[in-house]
A = this chain, B = another copy of it.
Amino acid sequence: MFKKETEYALRGMVYIQLQNLKDRRPGVAEIAHEIEAPYFFTAKIFQRLAKQGFVKSMKGKGGGFFIEPEKKDLPLKELIIAIEGEELFVGCGFGLKNCDEENPCPLHHQYGMIRDQINKLVAGETIQSLAQNTLNKTLAFSRDTEK
């Protein structure tokens, strides 16, 4: 469904938020390890997210990543679109350019319902809501769970 980059970004953002709630700022090494993503790839992804303002970072000793309070309630959708574009949210299941109500592809209505659900999900959930899910439900999304 999502690209690897998007998956790593989502997992990493939730991990950062969870740590921030404990007043910690995890660094790339910690994030990559916990979300089971390659170190350098993780570094690159979060550099980009930092440049785009989704996270803040601090260099040097005690440095690491953190999410500003006003950003933690950003819908996942915006993060996803920033990474992989919006095809998933607007495209036709059949891949047709000009598929619409006037001119529907054979999957138009059925696929439309699924696409609407995807939209609803990622527009409704936020990094914060996922972090809360994790806290509430005796969690599970990373090595944390192995305890």
Residue among B105, B133, B137 making CB contact with A140, cutoff 8 Å: B105
The reply to whether A93 and B2 contact each other, CB–CB distance below 8 Å, is yes
Please provide the chain A residues from 96 to 115 with a CB less than 8 Å away from any CB of chain B in the complex: 96-97, 99, 102-107, 110-111, 113-114
Identical copies in the complex: 2
Which chain B positions have C-beta within 8 A of A134? Answer: 106
Kindly state the separation between the CA atoms of A16 and B63 in the bound complex, as whole angstroms: 60
Residues of B within 8 A of A8 (CB): 95
Is A117's CB under 8 angstroms from B113's CB?
yes
- 13 interchain pairs, CB-CB under 8 A: A1-B1, A1-B91, A2-B95, A8-B95, A11-B96, A14-B106, A96-B141, A104-B137, A105-B140, A106-B130, A111-B121, A113-B117, A114-B118
